[in-house]
């Protein structure tokens, strides 16, 4: 690769940093490696280890997606000890440019570039090219972003959409809200659509049914619900899908997301067939007078294992 067309991309979480090279002329990615953040005192140490392992490639531009705010030059990770100046890091590594973006910005930037092998459609029609896109991702919390196109450039619109009020639709939702209102001053959607949210929904539904909440782990609840071995867990996962449908449908309405509404994160790809058989899509479309509006918006699940790297590459290629 010619020197001026070689970039480095990275996706940094609280535990691991994943790095890869990208040919900025073609978008081809190579040399994917993963390192434990805890093994390196600074992010520069981790990057230099990667460059050594990759044979000292002549990188000139870089984009790092990281799980913390990226609005200022000083970056301080929320779930790890790394803290650094973007300008100083760029100077130390001798790069022409270094971009720091939020991890969910990177995920949203990946969406227009996913192939059919990197996503699964769950209802709706064909996505409209160039139209706004929405994405949400239940995980440790609930990430949310929108993506819009302007002059052939994609721009991510980040925010804190996971913390909007939870709006109950049916009797089960109402009981969950009442149950969680005893625990929280403000019940956000994140209190339901996340790993901890699955546990809290399970506890609320067990309370509603007058049964003991025997599970304390989201993975156990998910498994017991999906395989049908526990009626309360199964109802929990069914309700989890319904709430996702209502919330995803709201995101679709916000910006007319005819480019699709995507579910990202590590939870939902584990039970796509269960999701397809659930009332997710019905609740997505159940918007009264705007039912037909949402019926024209497709929904997807992201199955690509490294959407942060795909998005970081897409972001970087727009800047050179």
Residue 14 annotated as part of some ligand binding site: yes
Q: Are strands 74-76 and 83-85 parallel, antiparallel or unpaired?
A: antiparallel
Alpha-carbon distance 123 to 126, whole Å? 9
Residue 260 annotated as part of some ligand binding site: no
Alpha-carbon distance 299 to 134, whole Å? 9
The structure tokens listed for 62 are 């870089």
Cβ-contact 253, 290 below 8 angstroms: yes
Residues found in the chain: 320
Residue 302 annotated as part of some ligand binding site: no
Work out the number of other CB atoms within 10 angstroms of the CB of residue 2.
Answer: 10
Work out the number of other CB atoms within 10 angstroms of the CB of residue 76.
Answer: 12
Cβ-contact 106, 312 below 8 angstroms: yes
| Phi and psi at residue 69, to the nearest 5° | -60, 145
Residue 26 annotated as part of some ligand binding site: no
Q: What b/e string do you get for 181-213 counting C-beta neighbours within 10 Å, with b at 16 or more? A: eeeeeebbbbbbbbbebbbbbbbbbbbbeeeeb
C-alpha distances out from residue 290 to 248, 285, 287, 300, Å:
14, 8, 5, 20
**Which residues are documented as binding site for ATP?**
10-15
* Binding residue positions: 10-15
């Amino acid at each position: 690769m010619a020197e001026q067309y070689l970039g480095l991309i990275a996706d940094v979480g609280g535990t691991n940093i994943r790095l890869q090279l990208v040919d900025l002329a073609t978008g081809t990615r190579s040399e994917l490696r993963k390192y434990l953040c805890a093994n390196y005192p600074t992010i520069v140490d981790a990057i230099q280890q990667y460059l050594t392992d990759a044979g000292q490639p002549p990188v000139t531009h870089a984009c790092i997606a990281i799980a913390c705010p990226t609005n200022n030059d000083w970056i301080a990770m929320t779930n790890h000890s790394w803290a650094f100046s973007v300008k100083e890091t760029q100077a130390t590594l001798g790069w022409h440019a270094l971009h720091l973006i939020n991890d969910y910005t990177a995920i949203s930037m990946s969406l227009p570039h996913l192939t059919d092998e990197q996503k699964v459609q769950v209802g709706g029609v064909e996505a409209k090219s160039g139209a706004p896109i929405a994405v949400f991702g239940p995980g440790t919390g609930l990430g949310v972003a929108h993506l819009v196109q302007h002059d052939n450039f994609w721009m991510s619109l980040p925010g804190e959409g996971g913390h909007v009020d939870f709006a109950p639709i049916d009797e089960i939702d109402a009981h969950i809200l009442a149950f969680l209102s005893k625990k929280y001053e403000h019940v956000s959607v994140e209190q339901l659509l996340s790993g901890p949210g699955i546990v809290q929904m399970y506890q609320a539904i067990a309370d509603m049914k007058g049964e003991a909440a025997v599970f304390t782990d989201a993975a156990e609840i998910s498994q017991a619900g999906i395989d049908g071995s526990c009626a309360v867990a199964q109802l929990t996962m069914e309700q989890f899908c319904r709430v996702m449908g209502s919330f995803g449908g709201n995101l679709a309405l916000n910006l007319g997301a005819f480019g699709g509404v995507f579910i990202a994160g590590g939870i939902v790809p584990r039970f796509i067939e269960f999701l397809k058989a659930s009332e997710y899509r019905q609740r997505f479309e159940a918007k009264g007078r705007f039912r037909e509006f949402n019926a024209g918006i497709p929904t997807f699940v992201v199955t690509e294992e490294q959407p942060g790297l795909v998005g970081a590459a897409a972001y970087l290629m727009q800047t050179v």
